[in-house]
Amino acid sequence: MKFSTVLSSSLMVVAALAAPTPTVQEPVNAAFEKRASVTDTPVGYASQNGGTTGGAGGTTTTVSSFAEFTAAVSSSDKKVVYVSGPITQAAKQVKVGSNTSIIGKDSSVVFTGFGLIVKGMSNVVIRNIAIAKVLAANGDAIGVQKSTNVWIDHVDVSSDRDHDKDFYDGLLDLTHAADFVTISNSFVHDHWKASLVGHSDSNGAEDKGHLRVTYANNLFENLNSRGPSFRFGTGHMFNNYYNSVSDGINTRQGAQVLVENNVFVDSKKSVYSTDGGFAVATGNDFGSGSNTAPAGTLKTVPYSYTKLDASAVKAAVVGTAGVTLKF
């Protein structure tokens, strides 16, 4: 063997020994498509008033078109409606009946152009669904009105901020005395006015004593306001991560909110009050923002829950919130 060949081989061995050992790259979303069950139950206010189970134990069906979906969710018979694949339709909100679970089978389930409305119903679960770009003329991405026991979990709701603030409506609006609602593990992003609890200053006669809502483990990102805006009711926000949300939690019209262990990054107003709202804020990381709301009286809630320290919220929420389940 020639000397040059031996030298070349030796250099290759040295280079191989010096090179770093290849590593298996973890996915950006380590919790992506985590297995879940239709019998899972919510934390927060949706766990009260008898609990929220949706259609668990009822009939099951799988749909993949707008017509199939609309027909499947309309009745109040106990039912689980699985959705397979994306559906695009420019249409008004689809009405959802009582005792219904709407479950996206995996991350491919995106509704584009239409949203959901739960009106005058009870015991509804909406999980693992993305909803995008519902024009204002067609309503909110998800609206809950005059309904009790609604659990919205692992949803991804968005539009864009390329248009006027009224080009789209709300992403998650809970109005007209909606009650015992939990929004958890969801990704709320790229929108002007994200989430409204109580739609009008003049609706106190209907709303007072209702609008009990929990927001837990959600990711709010690139929003102008309403994270949420909360009138009259009772709100509990814990372990949410806010990234580039200009106006965060707005408590108003006598609302009492408990704000625990949330994180705010690049937010101008973290927690603030207009028109006489109140807040108790503990364990939060407000970043460059602050809590300027008057001290409230809501220091405890009537359910058990586990909260993380603010320092652990980003790792727990970012990459887990949104359509990250598999059924």
Determine how many CB atoms are found less than 10 A away from the CB of residue 37.
10
Which of 40, 32, 34 minimizes the C-alpha distance to 80? 40
What does the buried/exposed string (b/e) look like for 180-195 if buried means 16 or more CB atoms within 10 Å of the residue's CB?
Answer: bbbbbbbbbbbbbbbb
Which of 261, 255, 254, 257 minimizes the C-alpha distance to 300? 257
3 state DSSP class of 12: helix
Q: Are 257 and 298 in contact (CB under 8 A)?
A: yes
| Joined tokens for residue 301 | 């809630």
Separation between Cα atoms, residue 218 and residue 65, nearest integer Å: 29
Q: Are 113 and 88 in contact (CB under 8 A)?
A: yes
The reply to whether 127 belongs to the active site is no
Q: Which one from 35, 127, 161, 226 is the annotated catalytic residue?
A: 226
Which positions are annotated as active-site residues? Answer: 226
